[in-house]
Amino acid sequence: MSSMRPFVLTIFTFLFICERQAQAQSYTDLTQFWNMYALLNPATTALEYDLHAGIAGRTSLSDLYLNVQSNILLAKHHGLGINYSIGQLDDRTVQTHLNYNYQFLLKDTRRISIGVAFGLQRNAGDLGTSTYPEPFSATAPDLNLGLAYRGKALIAGAGVEHVIPFYNSYYGPQLNAHASYRFLLGQQKNFSLRPQVLVCNREEYFVGNFNITAAWKEQWWLGGSLRYEFFNDAKYWSVMTGWDIQRRYRLGYSFDFYREKTKFGPLLDVYHEIVFGFFMNRK
């Protein structure tokens, strides 16, 4: 029962946020995206860890994003999770999804997973900006699909978000693919390197995320990241660090420097991102 507590706690956190009806734009392009794979691909729900609960917050001077998720593996084959995303930009959106996947057991710890996420998204704008001068509000069902593979050191997958068309084309279907590989180094295998990549594509909207983290005894980790938005030639350079406590609790932080070329000159901004998590595998 104790192993269920983080899962239940995250659900209560999720319900509390829903009760407050926070309105904002969902944005799952996190620098530390490997902590929140299930937001993009439901097939990764409880794929790396039997139990995983996490909260990720990201902010700058003008933007605020929050992502909450909780995943659990049931009866060795069934991954179940709940995701909630909010944020704020020119418009505001709330996205809520229930994830499910079925995991086919292969040799050793290898698995292939197929997943689906169904939920609702609410898009609203009443900020009186140049983008949305008039107030508006819309709610629609949302559907995500995914496929993923987990090996001894490799995790890879692909998915499609927002299969059901929404009135705003920005929230139309989005393809994504991701992969990570962990190299164990040293005589005692105390040092590890983990390069990771995530690419997303929605018509002309194409983003590539590339990062690498180095970990000591699977506790302290340090890394760097580059996100490149091809459609507007914008770059995010990031430095990140974190601490996995007792291989169960996670605290991560990243500092992002943002630069975009515009007709008025370069646009600069900085982001701070914090991740809290709980994870475990049953023996």
Residue 62: its pLDDT value, please? 62
Q: Determine whether 71 is exposed, middle or buried from the number of CB atoms within 10 Å of its CB (0-12, 13-18, 19+).
A: buried
User: Measured between alpha carbons, how far is 112 from 149 in angstroms, rounded to an integer?
Assistant: 5
Q: Could you say which residues of the chain have pLDDT below 70?
A: 1-29, 61-63, 87-92, 125-136, 167-172, 203-204, 261-267, 282-283
3-class state of residue 47 by DSSP: coil
User: Measured between alpha carbons, how far is 121 from 140 in angstroms, rounded to an integer?
Assistant: 6
User: Measured between alpha carbons, how far is 60 from 3 in angstroms, rounded to an integer?
Assistant: 35
Residue 100: its pLDDT value, please? 97
The β-bridge relationship of strands 174-181 and 191-202 is antiparallel
CATH H-level superfamily of 2-280: monomeric porin ompg (2.40.160.40)
